[in-house]
Amino acid sequence: MGVRPKSRFLTFSTYILSFVGILLSFYAYYVETSAEKDKSFKAMCDFSETVSCSKVFTSRFGRGFGLVQYITGTDSVLNQPNSVFGVLFYVIQVVCASSVLPMLTNVQVFTAVLANCGSVYLAYILYFVLEDFCVVCVSTYLVNAFILGCALIKWRRSQSIQKTKKKHKQG
């Protein structure tokens, strides 16, 4: 069974969105590491005291979602910048989008749901705790939402195909 045209569009969309997410994550990593090394560093996304990516990325919430440090410690290899987790997520999305296996479609949806839960959590932190606006952060939240949409459409189609196959085996 070949890939249908609509499926190719979903796959291509997920590739593009993941590529954008990877670029945003690399930029976030660059800003964070540069700001940590040089306190006078000013990123392109630092517009004011309340619209500052550097402020967000260098906060305690910029690593391990502000939570990993309490589980593994601040010096743990698992307490990485959020952007590192972002790159891993986008790579998983590309791998899963490339497959028609139902199990990988489920992984794609699960990781997309997880990423969007992380986005909601970080958006809350951004607005209510840090009282900041981060253009890069909000852009990744949007990318994650669109990736979830693509994954859910693919999953729904996969479920439909599985039901059709079961009917043909029974009939």
Residues 6+ apart with CB under 8 A from 157: 6, 7
Residues 6+ apart with CB under 8 A from 11: 3, 97, 98
Q: Are 51 and 135 in contact (CB under 8 A)?
A: yes
Which stretches of 38-134 are DSSP H helices? 53-57, 68-72, 82-97, 102-124
Percent of the chain with pLDDT over 90: 87
pLDDT higher than threshold 80 for residue 6 = no
- Residue 78: CB atoms within 10 A of its CB come to 12
Residues 6+ apart with CB under 8 A from 133: 50, 51, 126, 127
User: Which residues pair with residue 46 across a beta bridge?
Assistant: 52
Q: CATH number for 5-160: choose from 1.10.357.10, 3.40.50.300, 1.25.40.850, 1.20.1440.130.
A: 1.20.1440.130
Q: How confident is the model at residue 7 (pLDDT cuts 50, 70, 90)?
A: confident
Q: Is the pTM higher than 0.85? A: yes
Residues 6+ apart with CB under 8 A from 23: none
Tokens 């990993």 sit at which residue?
A: 68
pLDDT higher than threshold 60 for residue 162 = yes
Q: What is the mean pLDDT of the chain?
A: 93
